[in-house]
Amino acid sequence: MKIQRLNEALASKIAAGEVIERPASAVKELVENSLDAKSESIAVELEQGGIRCIVVRDNGEGMDDDDLLVCVERHATSKITREPDLDRIATLGFRGEALASIAAVSRMRIISRPRGTEEAHEVRVVAQAVDGPFPAARAPGTTVEARELFFNLPARARFLGTPRTEFLHANRAIRRLALARPAVSWSLTHGGKSVLEAPQVGNLLDRIGQLYGAEVARAMIPVDVSREDISVSGFISRPDLKRGNRRDQLFCVNGRPVSDRGLSYVLASAYHGILRRGSYPLAVICIDLPLEQVEVNVHPRKEEIRFAEPRRVQETLNRALQGALASRYVVSPLLAPHKAQPPVERTKASISPLELRAKAGIRRTAHEAEKVRVGNERRVIGQLLRTYLLVERSDGLEIVDQHIAHERILFERLRKQSQCGEVARQQFLLPVRVELSFESAALVASSREQLERVGIILEEFGGGTFLFREYPSLLAEAQSRHGFQELAERIAALLEQGEEVRDVLFDRLLGELACGAAIKAGARMPLEEQQALVDQLMQLENPYTCPHGRRIIFTVPKEDLDRRFQRT
């Protein structure tokens, strides 16, 4: 017989390793317990990133002496009792493993006093030997202390990061839960120094302000949609605020911070064409749906979930995000609350009949012009270095990159055309000839359908030579003839990257086309055309960044100018 049952102590250690991977996981579990106990205030103290010591104090429901003895046993929980409960889990915990796991790999102490009673008790657990309960003193609530994590599990201890790294993980776990519960007061100290003080607030935006700062809070767009039994609410960042990674994206499902690839994917695709690759939005999104629609018992750490109907959730999220990104918040930033001021006087040139060059699609309809005249808040002063447009506003100066602005306008129009069916095409009398390498030629030849969807008809001439026969009318005049060779090469390169997602490829194709046709830096423009460009730009859903994610508008607030000239 070679098979033996592991003894209880060893089995517990192995199980503990699953739940408690590092100090941050212990912190997360303890804090979740405090939340499940309906605490209004939670204080966490860490030493050496939590490796030496973790203390979590709450003012929740507390435990009496009997419960204190049981709570550190494996599979001991007050949160579910019967199997059907598993289908309707409303608490963060339910597996009854966390305290037992932490106790198995640390020196632990718990002091607790139930609400509405006078007595507090303490238990100590070292290497799974429980000591107590002893009488103790404490206000209602619970304190859990875990020292020397993994002291008896050297294999795991070796894989811990530096205290600094472990602190960052723990900090992040706390911030995620703090975002999930704005109504709870949070504090965190590390090595005795305060790193977070977030008193209870009435709404998520205020919590975002506490954790990320007021600037960030002001650059967030509200998300809010309910459909059938799913509700999606929260905040996502305006396109001019972004991060280099996904760390500042949080999804809470029924109050539980989760990682879910499907949800992350929907968020990422909502920003396609708005943010450049490698840039990520900030987001805090709460999704609420009937408990039985969500399976939380997927993994011991309870961060993964399964939806009964993932598509339905993703579609609702997508609709909510699209709505938010198309909202006026994106166009007129909440930034400077406008003080009522008399409209800025407009120059003669911009009021004069709008005989704008038809070239490059910069043309205003009479209707648009009227709208602009009535509510105009942006007066173009002129061109700087034939590259930037200077725009006067009542609250400062805006500097607009003429090429990127025009590119964005063309991109949006082309996208609209292609979305409602067909892109209007124009035939070249003299087709434009381009030469491609052998591999590129094969790719382009096999992607005819896709290219047709964006309005390009290419004819294969053999030997890597192609003829541009038809081209989107919107761009045909502006696209310089010698630019086609470069354009064809860039299209081939795009096709070669073989984007799995067709829509992404499609957007990038549109982006390339718009870029090729947009007014170049260094090109002179008449003032009316400059004004028309800015007016059209401001009517877009996203005037702030180009399809590649580059900045379009740079703002110099009046306060900055005043400060520089010591006018304040």
Contact between 69 and ligand ADP by CB under 6 A: the answer reads: no
Residue owning tokens 């760390």: 247
How far, in Å, CA of 499 to CA of 301, rounded? 33
- Give the contacts of 146 (CB within 8 A, at least 6 positions apart): 26, 30, 53, 54, 102, 106, 107, 108
Q: In this complex, which beta carbon is closest to ligand ADP, that of residue 92 or of residue 441?
A: 92
How far, in Å, CA of 440 to CA of 16, rounded? 54
Q: In this complex, which beta carbon is closest to Mg ion, that of residue 39 or of residue 542?
A: 39
Q: Which ranges in 446-501 belong to alpha helices (H)?
A: 448-453, 473-476, 483-496
How far, in Å, CA of 480 to CA of 493, rounded? 20
* Residue of 15, 69, 76, 505 that binds ligand ADP (CB under 6 A): 76
Contact between 58 and ligand ADP by CB under 6 A: the answer reads: yes
Measured from the CB of residue 110, what is the shortest distance to ligand ADP in angstroms?
8
Q: Which stretch binds Mg ion (CB under 5 A): 25-33, 364-372, 481-489, 495-503?
A: 25-33
Contact between 145 and ligand ADP by CB under 6 A: the answer reads: no
- Give the contacts of 154 (CB within 8 A, at least 6 positions apart): none
Number of residues lying near ligand ADP (CB under 6 A): 24
Q: Is there a contact between 424 and 473 (Cβ–Cβ < 8 Å)? A: yes
Of 437, 524, 418, the C-alpha closest to 489 is 437
Measured from the CB of residue 9, what is the shortest distance to ligand ADP in angstroms?
17
Q: List the x/- string, 8-37, binding to ligand ADP by CB under 6 A.
A: ---------------------x---xx-xx
Contact between 33 and Mg ion by CB under 5 A: the answer reads: yes
Q: Which stretch binds Mg ion (CB under 5 A): 31-39, 171-179, 233-241, 510-518?
A: 31-39
* Residue of 89, 98, 317, 519 that binds Mg ion (CB under 5 A): 98
- Residues 515-544 close enough to bind ligand ADP by CB under 6 A: none
Question: How, if at all, do strands 388-393 and 396-401 pair?
Answer: antiparallel
For residue 444, the Cα-to-chain-centroid distance in whole angstroms is 34
Contact between 240 and ligand ADP by CB under 6 A: the answer reads: no
How far, in Å, CA of 415 to CA of 445, rounded? 23
Q: Which stretch binds Mg ion (CB under 5 A): 86-94, 157-165, 181-189, 544-552?
A: 86-94
Select from ligand ADP, Mg ion, none the partner in contact with residue 114, using the beta carbon and a kind-dependent cut-off of 5 to 8 Å. none
Contact between 530 and Mg ion by CB under 5 A: the answer reads: no
- Give the contacts of 102 (CB within 8 A, at least 6 positions apart): 16, 20, 26, 29, 30, 108, 144, 146, 149
Select from Mg ion, ligand ADP, none the partner in contact with residue 71, using the beta carbon and a kind-dependent cut-off of 5 to 8 Å. ligand ADP
Give contact residues for ligand ADP (rule: CB under 6 A).
Answer: 29, 33-34, 36-37, 58, 60-63, 71, 76-79, 93-100, 142
